[in-house]
Amino acid sequence: MFAEVNGLRMFYEERGPADGEPIVFLHGFPFDHSMWQHQIEALEQTYRCIAPDLRGHGQTTTLGPAQQPGQVSIAHMAEDVIALLNDLHIQQATVCGLSMGGYIAFALWRTHAPRVRQLILADTRAGPDSEEARQNRFRLAELVLAKGSTAATDAMLPRLFAPANLSSRAAQQIRAIIERTPPAHIVNTLYALANRPDSTALLPTITVPCLVIVGEHDAITPPAEAELICQRIAGAQSPIIVPDAGHLSPLENPTAFNQALADFLRR
C-alpha cells in the first residue's frame, strides 16, 4: 500500500486486524520493510502490523525534486513515520526499530513521546558516530557514487550477519535489497546516519516499557551497546541476547527473536 505523506509516496505493508494494537516496524539501513517478514507473520493474527519503507528505501519515493546529501536526517525520517501514523489515524503505537530504525525510534521519543506506547530497540545504539565512523561513512558514500550500490553490499554484508549466516537465504535477500537501492539514496542516508544526534541523554527520560534485544554476534551494534541502553533506562530489563545471530537478529534467528517479542508483548 502507498500513502502520500510528508512529500513522499510512502510504501508500507499493513497486516492484521484494523482494531488490533498497532506495532510499527522500522527497518535498518539500507533495507526495507521485508526484513520484518517473520515478525509480521508471527503477530498478524492479533496485532495491527505496519512496516513502512523509510525515506530513501524500498518502494518509497520522494514526490518533489531529488534530495541531496545533508537534506535528509533521522529527525526527518521520524516525521515521515508520524505523518504515516496520522494518515492511518493511529494515535499511539508500539515502535519496533532495528539499528537505524532504533535511531528513528529515539527521534520519535524525543519529539513525539505521547505517540509511543512502548519501545522495542533491536540491534541499535544510543550514542552518535565516532569521528572515525563518520569518516568511514563519507568514504563509503564516495565509493557508492563511483561504483554503485554493490559497493555498499561488499562493504557491509560481512558485518551484517554472523559468520555462519553469511551464505543464508536471508543474506541473499538482504544483498538483493541493497543492490536495488539507488546509490543517491544510500549516500543521502549515510549522511543522515553520520549527522544523527547523541540519544544517550534521552534514555533516562524513557518511561514506557522497553525491550532491548541484540544478536549474540552483532559486530555493528554489539551486545555491550544494548547493555548501555538498559543501564540508563530506569526499570529496563537486561537485554535479550539472540543466539546464532549477528546484526540482523530478526532475520537470522526469527524463532528466538519472536519468542522474546511475544514474551514482551504479552506482559
Work out whether 94 is an interface residue with ligand MLT (CB under 6 A): no
Closest CB to ligand MLT among 88 and 192?
Answer: 192
Work out whether 241 is an interface residue with ligand MLT (CB under 6 A): no
3-state class of 50 per DSSP?
strand
Looking at residue 16, what DSSP letter applies? S
Report how far Cα 93 is from the mean position of its chain's Cα atoms. 15
Total chain residues near ligand MLT (CB under 6 A)? 7
The string of DSSP letters for 151-218 reads HHHHHHHHHHS-GGGTTSHHHHHHHHHHHHS-HHHHHHHHHHHHTPPP-GGGGGG--S-EEEEEETT-
Yes or no: say if 144 and 29 are a contact pair by the CB < 8 Å rule: no
- Closest distance of CB 101 from ligand MLT, Å: 7
**Could you say which residues in the range 167-206 bind ligand MLT, by CB under 6 A?**
193
Site string for ligand MLT, 21-50 (x = CB under 6 A): -------xx---------------------
**Could you say which residues in the range 97-156 bind ligand MLT, by CB under 6 A?**
99-100
Work out whether 220 is an interface residue with ligand MLT (CB under 6 A): yes
3-state class of 71 per DSSP?
coil
- Closest distance of CB 207 from ligand MLT, Å: 25
3-state class of 22 per DSSP?
strand
Closest CB to ligand MLT among 40 and 160?
Answer: 160
- Closest distance of CB 99 from ligand MLT, Å: 3
Closest CB to ligand MLT among 22 and 28?
Answer: 28
- Closest distance of CB 127 from ligand MLT, Å: 10
Comparing CA positions, the residue from 6, 16, 42 lying closest to residue 253 is 42
| Separation CA 91–CA 264 (nearest Å) | 21
Residues forming the site for ligand MLT (CB under 6 A): 28-29, 99-100, 193, 220, 247
